[in-house]
Amino acid sequence: MSSKHFSDLDSSALPNPIPTDVTPAPFDHLPSTTTSSTLSESEEIPCTSSSPSSTPPPIHLPLSWPPDATLSLQWIHHLIAAFDWSSKNLPPSHFPSVLPVSVFDTLILTASKILHKEPNCLKILQDSPPSSDSTVVVVGDIHGQFHDLLFLLQDAGFPSENRFFVFNGDYVDRGAWGLETFLLLLAWKVFMPHRVFLLRGNHESKYCTSVYGFEKEVLTKYGDRGKHVYRKCLGCFEGLPLASIIAGCVYTAHGGLFRSVSVPSSKRSKGKKNRRIILNPEAKGLSLGSLEELSKARRSVLDPPWEGLNLIPGDVLWSDPSMNPGLSPNRERGIGLLWGPDCTEEFLKKFDLKLIIRSHEGPDAREKRPGLAGMDQGYTIDHVVDSGKLITLFSAPDYPQFQVKAYYDFEDVIDSDEELDLASMATEP
Ligand SMILES: [Mn+2]
């Protein structure tokens, strides 16, 4: 595909966002990322092929944590070169010879500490003057397509003092390099915590990663230390913030809008009988939640609940727009909501916003959604209302992509995460 699968916020919504003084970071020492080799799992470390990607990167492997404990741009270049090379030349089980568990531990601990402290809804460029020449690049689902992430970073330019990135979740599952993708993003987060922002997707959860490949990928790559690595990843997922507001006018989240969970005091005092009104998602009076409610939600859950009182994380991560007006339970997915153009208008107007950017629906999901545009260009404009627009953004081109054997049986499991298997989730400890 030739189109961009990410969104440069170069609309009038943002103040003067076109950078003039930034050139893309050099990739010239890296092996080509435009071709991808097919790799069999039995392959030994090849160093004799004439393929350019077979040349080991000019860095020392395994990677080590910097002695002064401070990540540098050079360290990130090394990480990229090492992951790009190993993804094309090493069997997955040799991954610890590239990134030892001890280095993984330090990276994920350092990143988790930063992420857990962030608020549910990040405020990005909040106080930026209108003359700011900053750009914000918003990225949709990546789903383990590491080489596409490298292309995207090269094409948009690396994060920098005036180039911000907001990643809209779904880093892992389906693609074969979810670990490389997530770890590179964590490294950027540690290196530039106020320029790179990582939101949670519905796949950053225990349920999804156990069905769609990431757990198996981690166990394959880290062997007998795999369970430890997988647990640390789940702990980090719990810390990911849910949403962002950019320059006071753009709301971004993986799924999108969310319900109000506030209980009118008159009902609360009536006790148990009326509590059922809140617990039943099909109850009348489903209404849009506020940014204040979003800020108070408890996001540290392995799997966002689809019942009970803590429903906002599940809505933000799983909901979809609809062309039908109103808010209704998302029966296709079994969790989250469907919201109509009237809700988009209500939300934008109430919070003085111009744009909603959400992700979550790839080409396969969109094929089954009559009335909504197909995901062939990487984004769709779904709602156009008085106050602004709603965009769906998906950044995994040619998805689903199986350049190497996927870590889940894509013929056996459901072909989209449309139908959340509630029975299976309920049995999870
Ligand atoms: Mn998703």
Q: 418 C-alpha to center of ligand 1: Å?
A: 9
Pick the more confident residue, 275 or 200.
Answer: 200
Whether 182 shows a pLDDT value over 70: the answer reads yes
Residue 120 lies in a domain: yes
Residue 49 lies in a domain: no
Cβ-proximal residues to 318 (8 Å cutoff; 6+ apart), any chain: 202, 255, 304, 330, 333, 335, 336, 360, 420
Q: pLDDT by residue (tens digit) across 286-340? A: 999 999 999 999 999 999 999 999 999 999 999 999 999 999 999 999 999 999 9
pTM above 0.75, yes or no: yes
Average model confidence (pLDDT) across the chain = 83
The pLDDT score that the predictor gives to residue 321 is: 98
Chain centroid, CA 375 distance in Å: 17
Residue 371 lies in a domain: yes
Q: How confident is the model at residue 400 (pLDDT cuts 50, 70, 90)?
A: confident
The pocket of ion ligand 1, defined by CB under 5 A, consists of: 170, 201-202, 360
In this structure, how many other beta carbons lie within 10 angstroms of the beta carbon of residue 233? Answer: 25
The pLDDT score that the predictor gives to residue 128 is: 74
The pLDDT score that the predictor gives to residue 50 is: 38
What CATH number did the domain enclosing 130 receive? 3.60.21.10
Pick the more confident residue, 276 or 336.
Answer: 336
Whether 155 shows a pLDDT value over 80: the answer reads yes
Residue 43 lies in a domain: no
Residue 34 lies in a domain: no
CA distances in angstroms from 265 to 291, 293, 358, listed in the order given: 20, 16, 33
Evaluate whether 197 touches 165 at the Cβ level (below 8 Å).
yes
Evaluate whether 223 touches 109 at the Cβ level (below 8 Å).
no
Whether 367 shows a pLDDT value over 50: the answer reads yes
In this structure, how many other beta carbons lie within 10 angstroms of the beta carbon of residue 223? Answer: 16
Q: 48 C-alpha to center of ligand 1: Å?
A: 40
Q: 169 C-alpha to center of ligand 1: Å?
A: 7
The pLDDT score that the predictor gives to residue 56 is: 72
Whether 1 shows a pLDDT value over 50: the answer reads no
Nearest to 252 by CA among 291, 211, 210, 213: 291
On the question of a cis peptide bond just before residue 400, with omega within 30 degrees of 0, the verdict is yes
Q: Is 264 left (phi over 0), alpha (psi -120 to 50) or beta?
A: beta
Whether 233 shows a pLDDT value over 50: the answer reads yes
Torsion angles phi and psi, residue 85, rounded to 5: -65, -50
The pLDDT score that the predictor gives to residue 30 is: 33
| Range from 72-86, 189-203, 235-249, 409-423 carrying the lowest mean pLDDT | 409-423
Q: How confident is the model at residue 171 (pLDDT cuts 50, 70, 90)?
A: very high
Q: How confident is the model at residue 406 (pLDDT cuts 50, 70, 90)?
A: confident
Whether 141 shows a pLDDT value over 80: the answer reads yes
Report how far residue 338's alpha carbon sits from residue 256's, in angstroms, rounded to the nearest whole number. Answer: 9
Q: 71 C-alpha to center of ligand 1: Å?
A: 30
Q: Which two tokens stand for residue 278?
A: 């809140």
| Range from 31-35, 65-69, 411-415 carrying the lowest mean pLDDT | 31-35
Q: 172 C-alpha to center of ligand 1: Å?
A: 10
Our count of domains for the chain comes to: 1
Report how far residue 106's alpha carbon sits from residue 284's, in angstroms, rounded to the nearest whole number. Answer: 48
The pLDDT score that the predictor gives to residue 41 is: 31
Whether 412 shows a pLDDT value over 60: the answer reads yes
Q: How confident is the model at residue 157 (pLDDT cuts 50, 70, 90)?
A: very high
DSSP per-residue string spanning 319-383 = -EE-SSSSEEE-TTTTSSEEE-HHHHHHHHHHTT-SEEEE----HHHHHT-TTS--SSSSEEEEE
Q: pLDDT by residue (tens digit) across 335-356? A: 999 999 999 999 999 999 999 9
Whether 363 shows a pLDDT value over 50: the answer reads yes
Cross-strand bridge partners of residue 251: 245, 356
Whether 26 shows a pLDDT value over 60: the answer reads no
CA distances in angstroms from 250 to 5, 50, 321, listed in the order given: 18, 48, 17
Residue 369 lies in a domain: yes
Pick the more confident residue, 80 or 40.
Answer: 80
On the question of a cis peptide bond just before residue 305, with omega within 30 degrees of 0, the verdict is no
Residue spans of beta strands (DSSP E) within 92-200: 121-124, 135-139, 163-167, 196-198
Cross-strand bridge partners of residue 380: 392
Q: How confident is the model at residue 13 (pLDDT cuts 50, 70, 90)?
A: very low
- Give the residue numbers annotated as catalytic, written as ranges: 203
Residue 46 lies in a domain: no
The pLDDT score that the predictor gives to residue 130 is: 65
Q: 20 C-alpha to center of ligand 1: Å?
A: 34
Residue with tokens 């989730």: 425
Whether 39 shows a pLDDT value over 80: the answer reads no
Q: What percent of the chain has pLDDT over 90?
A: 70
The pLDDT score that the predictor gives to residue 82 is: 97
Residue 308 lies in a domain: yes
Domain of residue 326, residue span: 1-19+56-429
Q: 49 C-alpha to center of ligand 1: Å?
A: 38
Nearest to 146 by CA among 364, 381, 351, 401: 401
Q: pLDDT by residue (tens digit) across 50-68? A: 345 567 777 899 999 999 9
The counts of H helices and E strands in the chain are 14, 13
Pick the more confident residue, 194 or 422.
Answer: 194
The pLDDT score that the predictor gives to residue 58 is: 77
| Range from 129-143, 177-191, 242-256 carrying the lowest mean pLDDT | 129-143
Q: How confident is the model at residue 3 (pLDDT cuts 50, 70, 90)?
A: very low
Cross-strand bridge partners of residue 385: 388
The pLDDT score that the predictor gives to residue 127 is: 83
User: Nearest 5 degrees, angle CA 38-CA 43-CA 44?
Assistant: 135
Report how far residue 78's alpha carbon sits from residue 72's, in angstroms, rounded to the nearest whole number. Answer: 10
In the chain, the N- to C-terminal Cα span, in Å, equals 42
Q: 64 C-alpha to center of ligand 1: Å?
A: 33
CA distances in angstroms from 131 to 125, 127, 336, 355, listed in the order given: 12, 11, 38, 20
